[in-house]
Every structure is written in C-alpha cells, then in structure tokens.
Chain A
Amino acid sequence: MYKYAIRRLLLAVPVLLLSSLIVFGLMRVMPGDALTALMAESGNVGERELQKLRGELGLDRPYHEQYLIWLWQMVRFDPGYSIFTNEPIAVALKKAVPVTVELAVLAMILGLAIAIPMGVLSATRQDTTSDYIGRVVAVSGLSLPDFWLGTLVITFAAIWFRWIPPLGYASLWDSPWTNLQQFLLPAAVLGYRLSAATMRMTRSTVLEVLREDYVRTAWAKGLGGRMVVYKHALKNALIPVVTIVGGQLGTLLAGTVIVETIFALPGMGRLTVEAILFRDYPVVQTNVMLVAGTLVTLNLLVDLTYAWLDPRIHYR
C-alpha cells in the first residue's frame, strides 16, 4: 500500500506541473498586469517608474525565466510577496486558510449529519412519505443556488429575528462565540447544498446493498434492524459516498467564493478571486497550486479509504 501511495504521489508531479503551467499561462495572457491595476488605485505614475517597478518585481524577464523562478519558489515553499499588498503571501495564507478550513469542516459536518441518516431513512423506507420528503429536500438542495440561499437567509434573519451576524471576522481562538455566530449560517447554507448530493448517493447505494445476499443472511440470523443497516449495509454502501464527499471537501477547501463574499468571510475563495481581479500573479498562482496539491492528496486519501471500507480492495 505504501508503494501504491508513493507511486500515486509521483504520478501527481506531472499533473501539478501541468496545472502550474495552465495557471501561469492564463495569468500572463490576461489583459493588463498587476502594476496597471496597482497604478489605477494610486493615481499618476510615470512610465519610467512603472518600468523600474516591473524590473524590481521580475516582471520584465522572459516568461520562461519567470516561470522557473516561481517554480523554484514553490519547491522551497517560499511563495514570495503579493504584488498588490506587498504582504508576504505566507502571511495572507495564514489568515485565509483557517477561515476556509473552519467553514469547510463545519459545512461538511452539518452536511453529513443531515445526509447520511436521511439517505439511510429514505432507502430503508423506500416509497413512503419520509422517502419522498427526503428526496424532494435533496433535489431542491441541488437546485437552489448558494448565493440565493445565502442572500435570503441573511435578509430574513435580519427582518424576522432582527439578527445580523457580527461584523468583522473573529478568529475561533480569540472569541469562539462570535466566530461561531459568523460561521454557522454560511456553513449551514453550504452544508445543505452538499447534503443533497450525498443523500442521493447514500440512498441509492444503500438500496442496492440492502438487496444483497449477506444482508438477507444478517436479517435471517435475527440481527436487529439497526445492526443490519448500520453495521452490515451502510459500511459497504459508503464507497461511492466517500468519493462524493472527498470531491466536496476538495471544492470546499478551494474556497467558496460566493458564500465567503455574501457572509464577508476572508477565506481562500475571496483571496483568490480578488487576486485574479487585481492581476496579483504570485497570489493566484500560489493559491491555485495549494488547492491543486490538496485536491491531489485528497483523491489519494479517498482511494486509500476504499481499502479500509472494503477489505477486498488491495493496492499494490
């Protein structure tokens, strides 16, 4: 299994290199560069000063040199500085990553807490009222855009309960209560949307597994309903669910631009989008590579989980 994991990680190298090329290329062909965006903010600056700044930032070098320099920075885990704020990117990430991770973990927990029990319930009581309710909830969760749901939730919380989330981001360690108030609504919105896909998958795989012989054997042995469903059926039904959940976690960790924008949370999504708008090359490139690396690792973890869920699966 270790051999398999190492081989997979090695295979990830060309993929990450290609991703880095795509991002680097896209950023360079974008009209305008970081300095024009920067100058637009600070007013009149002469062409000569612009050239000087470009030189200092290494933006006047040929593209392949810029790419190699950046690649070397990535290998050393030293992403350098943001062009726009002049802040070290590592510092910006240290602020944004915890926000995104907290939001992702909360949303994931909320989503799974709704999805798995509802999926199982829907499957064990197929074609009953609770099944229909569950399925309607799931399909609507897939269809309601998160920016709409987020806007409605904020507005109606304000109109009906006279409650608005506390302003200004508070970290979990400094003021846990304020932080939780800020994160609960966005996590619930995201979690609801996530639970839809997970619930549908749980329902259909549990339905399939419940028809298997070994489940019938378990019933015949006189095992209790909960034992059969949760111990025998659910574990085996989970493989496709884990695939979906892994993908969702990846998407969440990439930053949920829109929910972060609506709820004013300074996470990875906002950082990346703002950096794209300001043509802040190093920030965009670093963020995308960080996310790509996380996704590749997550995919590997998902595959390794299969072996744990189903002992018949061996990796060599």
Chain B
Amino acid sequence: MATVTVRPLPIEEPVLATSGRLAELWTVIRRKPLGAASAVLIAAIVVTAIFADVLAPYDPLEARPEIRLARPSADHPFGTDDIGRDVLSRVIHGARISLWVGLLAVGIGTIAGMVIGLVCGYWEGRIDLMLQRLMDALMAIPGLVLALAIVSVLRPNTTNAMVAIAIVIIPGNARIVRGAVLSAKQNRYVEAAQAMGCRHLRILARHILPNVTAPILIIASIWLGNAILIEASLSFLGLGTQPPTPSWGLMLSSTGRAFMEQAPWLAIFPGLAISLAVLGFNLFGDTLRDAWDPRLRGSR
C-alpha cells in the first residue's frame, strides 16, 4: 500500500526566542576565533572597570612629583605622567569612565531611538512624517558639532558628554528601527494579531519588538565603540570629562600631546586602551551580525 507523506505547509520562520539567539551567538563565538577574541576583550575591559580599585597598583590621582615623567619600569609598567601619577592606574580607572559613558549613552540613545522608530514605523502617517523630518534635521548637523553644542549648553562634564552622545545616536537608531518595523509589519502574524483585535501595545511588544532587537543590538554594539571614541574626542577638546578624573581621551590630550617627545608612553598607553576597547566592540558587533543577521545565515 502506498503511503502518503503529508508535506507540511511552508510556514513563516518563527522569531527566534532569546535562548535561541544566545545559542546562535555561542555557535558563532566557538567557530570564529575573532568572535571569541572580541568577547574575551570585552570581558577583560568590563572586569577592569568593575575591579579598578583592586587592580590599580596606585591611587590614580596621587601625584608624586619626585618621580615625574618616569619611564616604564617594573614599579610603574606604563611610566608616570608630568606630576608623577601612575599611568597604568589611570588607564585602569579610565576604563570605568569610558565604559560607563559608552553604556549609558548608547543605552539612552538606543532606547529613545527604538521608541521613536517603533512609533514611526508602526503608526506611519503624520507623526512619522514629522518625527522623521526632525531626525533628518538632527542628522544634517555634524555629530561632533552637535555634541559640542549640547555640551556647551549643559556645561562640560562626563554626564553631559553622555547626554550629548546619546542625542547624536538617536536619529540613526530611529531610522534603522523604523525600517525593521516597516518590514516586520508585513508579516502575516501581525496582520492576524490586528484582525483579532489585539491592542497596539501588545502587538508592538509581543510581535514586532522581537523582530527589531537583533538589528538594535548589533548597531548598539558598534555604537558602543563609537561612543567611547566620541567621549575621548570631547575630552580631547576639553569639553568632556574634566581633570583630574582619568579619562583616556583627556590623558591623551592634556599630558599625552604636551610631553609626546619626552615621554611617548603618556600618549601611547591611553591611545592603545581606546583602540582596544573600540576594536573589541567593533569585532563583537561583527560577531553578533554573523550570528543574527538572517541574510548571513548559512554563509558561515
């Protein structure tokens, strides 16, 4: 007797649950050495930032003029600066500032961008038109100039640098989320949920948001690197973190440049720290993309 095999109807690929996402990420990290390296790098920076007090051999603010501009040695592996502060301890504490600024700025910028993108993409119409023009207007102003102007309004310090970076981040995020929402809305299950009379908020949270989180997290990871760079740039221009707080950008601009020829270690180590942190987040962003971008699935 012939058996009839029933072929299942093609169904739309279900949205990956969070555990599925982590599993995908884990697979990519295990297979790609660069992915693993970036994860390790980020973990190292996070640990450094959290345990800065324990890890730093000296007080980052303690000046000892008698050993000013000392070369790197066993006692001071990264040397000392122009008033005898230990550069290693300052770089270690700098991780805290950079990470803090990066996480908060990107957090605020991402959440605000997400809300605007969700509203624009879901409701479209007049509110979309207006908000999108506002985003365009913000994007038409050069990022660093906008950040500088905002910091000047709010007075230069670390917190305000964070707010400024967050505002610079919003428009790009809003645009990406809007695009993702517009395409997620085309899915049948969204139509079904609307037909069943689900409330908008429920549809947004349960059916659309999960589609949008992957691009958001990928972009956020890359933005983290950029936020660290912008904070360093603002501090470099004297409008971010204020002395004597150890910020990588500030260390580079204040003492690093002034004593570059006599004591190149003052510029080399903070710069290296910035580069490594940004590198870590960039590579991690790539790893997330490899793991979660549907277009790249199967290509690894």
A residues contacting B by CB (< 8 A) are 14-19, 21-23, 26-27, 29-31, 139-140, 142-145, 147-148, 151-152, 154-155, 158-159, 251, 254-255, 257-258, 261-262, 269, 272-273, 276-277, 284, 288, 291-292, 295-296
Instruction: Report yes or no: A142 in contact with B282, Cβ–Cβ below 8 A.
Output: yes
Inter-chain contacts of B166 with A (CB < 8 A): none
Instruction: Report yes or no: A291 in contact with B142, Cβ–Cβ below 8 A.
Output: yes
A276 to B237, CA, bound (A): 12
Inter-chain contacts of B42 with A (CB < 8 A): none
A selection of 27 A-B contacts at a CB cut-off of 8 Å is A18-B134, A30-B153, A31-B153, A31-B155, A139-B282, A139-B286, A140-B275, A140-B279, A143-B225, A143-B279, A145-B233, A145-B274, A147-B253, A151-B252, A151-B256, A152-B267, A152-B271, A155-B267, A159-B261, A254-B142, A272-B145, A273-B145, A273-B237, A276-B149, A288-B142, A291-B140, A292-B137
Inter-chain contacts of A258 with B (CB < 8 A): 233, 236-237
Nearest neighbor of A262 in chain B, beta-carbon distance: B257
Inter-chain contacts of A21 with B (CB < 8 A): 137
Inter-chain contacts of A251 with B (CB < 8 A): 142-143
A29 to B154, CA, bound (A): 9
Inter-chain contacts of A18 with B (CB < 8 A): 133-134, 136-137
A14 to B136, CA, bound (A): 10
The 5 closest A-B pairs by CB, nearest first: A18-B137, A148-B271, A254-B142, A292-B140, A143-B279
Chain A proximity of B169: nearest CB distance (Å): 15
A148 to B283, CA, bound (A): 20
In the complex, B40 has a CB within 8 A of chain A: no
Contact of A26 among B153, B278, B282 (CB under 8 A): B153
Chain B proximity of A200: nearest CB distance (Å): 9
A111 to B143, CA, bound (A): 21
Quick one: given A27-B149, A143-B279, A152-B267, are A158 and B261 in contact (CB under 8 Å)? yes
A151 to B153, CA, bound (A): 29
In the complex, B28 has a CB within 8 A of chain A: no
Chain A proximity of B232: nearest CB distance (Å): 6
A27 to B139, CA, bound (A): 17
Interface of chain B: mostly helix, strand, loop or mixed:
helix
Quick one: given A19-B141, A257-B237, A276-B145, are A155 and B260 in contact (CB under 8 Å)? yes
Inter-chain contacts of A262 with B (CB < 8 A): 257
Inter-chain contacts of B256 with A (CB < 8 A): 151
Instruction: Report yes or no: B141 in contact with A145, Cβ–Cβ below 8 A.
Output: no
In the complex, B179 has a CB within 8 A of chain A: no
Within 8 A of A (CB), among B165-184: none
Chain A proximity of B242: nearest CB distance (Å): 15
Instruction: Report yes or no: A148 in contact with B252, Cβ–Cβ below 8 A.
Output: yes
B residues contacting A by CB (< 8 A) are 133-134, 136-145, 148-150, 152-153, 155, 225, 229, 232-233, 236-237, 249, 252-253, 256-257, 260-261, 264, 267-268, 271, 274-276, 278-279, 282-283, 286
Quick one: given A144-B275, A147-B253, are A15 and B137 in contact (CB under 8 Å)? yes
A296 to B133, CA, bound (A): 12
Instruction: Report yes or no: B150 in contact with A147, Cβ–Cβ below 8 A.
Output: no
Quick one: given A145-B275, A147-B252, are A23 and B153 in contact (CB under 8 Å)? no
Instruction: Report yes or no: B283 in contact with A139, Cβ–Cβ below 8 A.
Output: yes
Instruction: Report yes or no: A30 in contact with B152, Cβ–Cβ below 8 A.
Output: yes
Given contacts A18-B134, A22-B138, A291-B145, list 14 more A-B pairs with CB under 8 A.
A15-B136, A18-B133, A27-B149, A30-B152, A31-B155, A142-B225, A145-B232, A145-B271, A145-B275, A151-B256, A269-B144, A273-B148, A284-B149, A288-B141
Nearest neighbor of B144 in chain A, beta-carbon distance: A257
Inter-chain contacts of A30 with B (CB < 8 A): 149, 152-153
A22 to B137, CA, bound (A): 8
Inter-chain contacts of A155 with B (CB < 8 A): 260-261, 264, 267
Instruction: Report yes or no: A151 in contact with B283, Cβ–Cβ below 8 A.
Output: no
Quick one: given A27-B149, A254-B145, are A147 and B236 in contact (CB under 8 Å)? yes
Chain A proximity of B82: nearest CB distance (Å): 16
Nearest neighbor of A14 in chain B, beta-carbon distance: B133
Inter-chain contacts of B149 with A (CB < 8 A): 23, 26-27, 30, 276, 284
Instruction: Report yes or no: B275 in contact with A143, Cβ–Cβ below 8 A.
Output: yes
Chain B proximity of A109: nearest CB distance (Å): 21
Instruction: Report yes or no: A145 in contact with B278, Cβ–Cβ below 8 A.
Output: yes
Contact of A22 among B141, B229, B232, B282 (CB under 8 A): B141
Chain A proximity of B153: nearest CB distance (Å): 5
Instruction: Report yes or no: A295 in contact with B267, Cβ–Cβ below 8 A.
Output: no
Inter-chain contacts of B274 with A (CB < 8 A): 145, 148
Inter-chain contacts of B225 with A (CB < 8 A): 142-143
A292 to B143, CA, bound (A): 11
A159 to B268, CA, bound (A): 15
Instruction: Report yes or no: A15 in contact with B260, Cβ–Cβ below 8 A.
Output: no
A159 to B214, CA, bound (A): 47
Instruction: Report yes or no: B267 in contact with A148, Cβ–Cβ below 8 A.
Output: yes
Contact of B150 among A26, A151, A254 (CB under 8 A): A26
Chain A proximity of B213: nearest CB distance (Å): 22
